[in-house]
C-alpha cells in the first residue's frame, strides 16, 4: 500500500512540477520584470541598503518584527537543503550550465518576490492577538475577492509545512548527525524538537530574534568554507566560469541524446532547482513579509527582494563553483554527497565534509523555524487564532517523529503540495500586478528610488 502511494505521489509530483508550472513561474517573473521596468536591477543597491544597513523603519510603524528580522525569517525557510543538495543535483544532471539557468531564474524571481511582498503588506490584517497576518491567502481573498482560492492556498501551505517544512528537515539533520558524528536519530530528534519549541512557542517575535542572529551566522560560516576552497584552488576559477557559460547553451553530453534534448535537461534542471531553492512564486515568503514593521508596502518588498538575490545569486553560486572547479560534477555523485566530495576535494582531510554537514544541520534547523510560522498563519487563516498554540506543540512533536522515520512517502507528498501552493499564488500575482505597479509608482514619485 505504501509503495503504491509513493508511486502515485511521485507521478503526481512530476505532473505538478512539469513544464507548465516551470514556464508559469519563470514567465510570471519575466512579466513582472517588464511591468516594473526592471526594478530588481535598478533598485538592487537601494534594496540591499534597506535590508542589510538600515534594517528597520525610522519612527513607529505597524508590524511585529523589523525589516531585517522579516528578511531573516524568510531566508531561514529559503536557505536550506536546496543550496547544498539542490545545486549539486542540478549540476550533476544538467552540467555546469544549469548554474547559469539558476541565475536567470533567480534574477527574474526577484521581481516575483517583490510583488508577493507588496501585496502581502498591502492586504495584511491584525488578528485578535494584535499580531499581523498576511500572505497569498489574504491578498487573493481580499484583492481578488476569491476566498475559495485563498483557502485552497492555505490548505496546501499548511500541509507543506509539516512535510517540506518539518519532517523532511528534521530527517536531514538526523541523517547528517548520524553520518558525520554518529549520533542516534532519536537523540537528534529530541534535541531538535526541544530547540524548535524554545523558539516557536514564543511566536513570530521570538522567531525573528533567533533567525536574525542564526541566519547571517550560518550563511557566513558556509560561504567562508566555500570561499576557502575557491581560494586554495583559485587557478580553477576562470575555467569554472567558462564551463558555466559554455554548457548553458552547448550542454555536456553526460547522457546520450540530441543537442536539443540536452539543452532542455540543462534548462529544466537549472530552473527547477532554482525555484526549489529561492521559492519565488510559491507564496511562502510573503507570509513573513506581512509581519514586518513598515509604513509602505514597497519598502518591505524591496527588502524581501534581496532574499532571492542572497539565496540564489550568492549562496547557490558558492556551492556551484566549489562543485564545478573540483572537476567532480560528472563523477556520478549526486546531491549532498556530491557537494561533500567537492568540499573534501578542495580542503585537507575530511574538513570539507564537516563544513557541509554543519551547514546542512543549521540550514535545515532554520528552515524548521521559518516554515513553522508559515504553517501557523495558514492554519490561523483556515480555523482561527485558537489553533495557534496547539499547532506549535504538534509541530514540535512532528519534528521528533520526522527524525527517525523513512520519509520517501513524505518527500513525495511534500513535493506535490509545495508545487500546488504556487498555482493560486501565481494567479493572484498576475491578476493583481496592476496594484503592484501602482504602489511602486507612488513610492517612486515620492522620490524614494
Three-state SS at 292: strand
Report in angstroms the alpha-carbon separations of 66 from 52, 199, 244, 259, 370: 11, 17, 38, 49, 15
Q: What is the pLDDT of residue 255?
A: 46
Going 339 to 343 to 345 to 348, the CA torsion angle's sign is: negative
Place of cell 518584527: 65
Task: In whole angstroms, give the CA distance from residue 240 to residue 386.
Answer: 53
Contacts of 152 (CB under 8 A, 6+ apart): 424
Task: In whole angstroms, give the CA distance from residue 7 to residue 29.
Answer: 32
Place of cell 518588498: 301
Report in angstroms the alpha-carbon separations of 142 from 64, 120, 125, 133, 284: 21, 11, 10, 13, 18
* Domains in the chain with CATH codes: 15-436 (1.10.4160)
Q: pTM of the predicted model, to two decimals? A: 0.93
What does DSSP say about strands 132-133 and 125-126: parallel, antiparallel, or unpaired? antiparallel
DSSP run (H or E) holding 132: strand 132-133
Question: Which of the residues in the chain have pLDDT under 50?
Answer: 253-257, 259
Q: What is the CA radius of gyration of the chain?
A: 21
Q: What is the pLDDT of residue 263?
A: 62
DSSP run (H or E) holding 126: strand 125-126
Task: In whole angstroms, give the CA distance from residue 20 to residue 236.
Answer: 37
CB 112 within 8 A of CB 32: yes
DSSP class per residue in 162-218: HIIIIIHHHHHHHHHHHHHH---HHHHHHHHHHHHHHHHTTHHHHHHHHHHHHHHHH
CB 282 within 8 A of CB 425: yes
What cell numbers appear for 358 in the block? 554543519
Three-state SS at 27: helix
Task: In whole angstroms, give the CA distance from residue 287 to residue 137.
Answer: 9
Q: What is the pLDDT of residue 410?
A: 75
Three-state SS at 65: strand
CB 304 within 8 A of CB 285: yes
What cell numbers appear for 158 in the block? 499548511
Place of cell 511582498: 117
DSSP class of residue 124?
-
pLDDT in tens, 126-156: 988 888 999 999 999 999 999 999 999 999 9
DSSP run (H or E) holding 133: strand 132-133
CB 25 within 8 A of CB 426: yes
Report in angstroms the alpha-carbon separations of 16 from 10, 155, 384, 416: 10, 16, 29, 6
Task: In whole angstroms, give the CA distance from residue 378 to residue 380.
Answer: 5
DSSP class of residue 123?
T
Contacts of 424 (CB under 8 A, 6+ apart): 136, 140, 149, 150, 152, 153, 156, 283
Three-state SS at 79: coil
Nearest to 116 by CA among 46, 204, 28, 24: 28
What cell numbers appear for 166 in the block? 518539518
Amino acid at each position: 500500500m505504501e509503495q503504491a502511494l509513493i508511486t502515485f505521489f511521485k507521478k503526481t509530483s512530476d505532473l505538478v512540477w512539469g513544464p507548465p508550472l516551470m514556464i508559469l513561474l519563470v514567465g510570471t517573473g519575466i512579466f513582472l520584470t517588464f511591468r516594473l521596468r526592471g526594478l530588481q536591477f535598478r533598485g538592487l543597491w537601494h534594496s540591499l541598503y534597506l535590508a542589510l544597513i538600515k534594517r528597520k523603519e525610522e519612527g513607529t510603524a505597524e508590524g511585529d518584527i523589523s525589516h531585517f528580522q522579516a528578511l531573516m525569517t524568510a531566508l531561514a525557510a529559503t536557505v536550506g537543503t536546496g543550496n547544498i543538495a539542490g545545486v549539486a543535483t542540478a549540476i550533476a544532471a544538467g552540467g555546469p550550465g544549469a548554474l547559469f539557468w539558476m541565475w536567470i531564474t533567480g534574477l527574474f524571481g526577484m521581481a516575483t518576490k517583490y510583488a508577493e511582498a507588496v501585496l502581502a503588506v498591502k492586504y495584511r490584517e491584525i488578528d485578535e492577538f494584535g499580531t499581523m497576518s498576511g500572505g497569498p491567502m489574504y491578498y487573493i481573498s481580499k484583492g481578488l475577492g476569491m476566498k475559495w482560492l485563498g483557502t485552497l492556498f492555505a490548505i496546501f501551505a499548511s500541509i507543506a509545512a509539516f512535510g517540506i517544512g518539518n519532517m523532511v528537515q528534521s530527517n536531514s539533520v538526523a541523517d547528517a548527525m548520524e553520518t558525520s558524528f554518529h549520533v542516534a536519530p532519536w537523540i537528534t530528534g529530541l534535541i531538535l524538537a526541544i530547540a524548535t519549541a524554545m523558539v516557536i512557542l514564543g511566536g513570530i517575535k521570538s522567531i525573528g530574534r533567533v533567525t536574525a542572529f542564526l541566519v547571517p551566522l550560518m550563511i557566513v560560516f558556509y560561504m567562508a568554507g566555500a570561499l576557502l576552497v575557491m581560494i586554495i584552488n583559485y587557478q580553477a576559477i576562470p575555467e569554472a566560469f567558462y564551463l558555466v557559460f559554455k554548457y548553458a547553451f552547448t550542454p555536456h553530453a553526460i547522457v546520450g541524446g540530441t543537442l536539443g534534448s540536452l539543452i532542455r535537461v540543462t534548462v529544466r534542471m537549472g530552473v527547477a532547482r532554482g525555484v526549489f531553492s529561492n521559492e519565488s512564486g510559491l507564496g511562502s515568503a510573503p507570509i513573513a513579509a506581512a509581519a514586518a514593521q513598515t509604513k509602505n508596502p514597497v519598502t518591505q518588498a524591496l527588502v524581501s527582494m534581496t532574499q532571492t538575490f542572497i539565496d540564489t545569486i550568492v549562496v547557490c553560486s558558492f556551492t556551484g563553483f566549489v562543485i564545478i572547479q573540483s572537476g567532480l560534477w560528472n563523477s556520478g555523485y549526486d546531491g549532498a554527497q556530491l557537494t561533500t566530495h567537492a568540499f573534501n576535494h578542495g580542503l585537507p582531510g575530511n574538513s570539507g565534509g564537516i563544513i557541509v554537514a554543519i551547514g546542512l544541520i543549521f540550514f535545515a534547523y532554520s528552515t524548521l523555524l521559518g516554515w513553522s510560522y508559515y504553517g501557523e498563519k495558514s492554519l490561523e487563516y483556515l480555523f482561527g487564532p485558537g489553533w495557534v498554540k496547539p499547532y506549535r506543540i504538534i509541530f514540535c512533536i512532528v519534528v521528533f517523529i520526522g527524525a527517525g522515520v523513512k520519509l520517501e512517502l513524505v518527500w513525495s507528498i511534500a513535493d506535490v503540495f509545495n508545487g500546488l501552493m504556487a498555482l493560486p499564488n501565481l494567479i493572484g500575482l498576475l491578476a493583481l500586478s496592476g496594484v503592484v505597479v501602482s504602489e511602486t509608482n507612488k513610492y517612486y514619485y515620492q522620490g524614494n528610488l
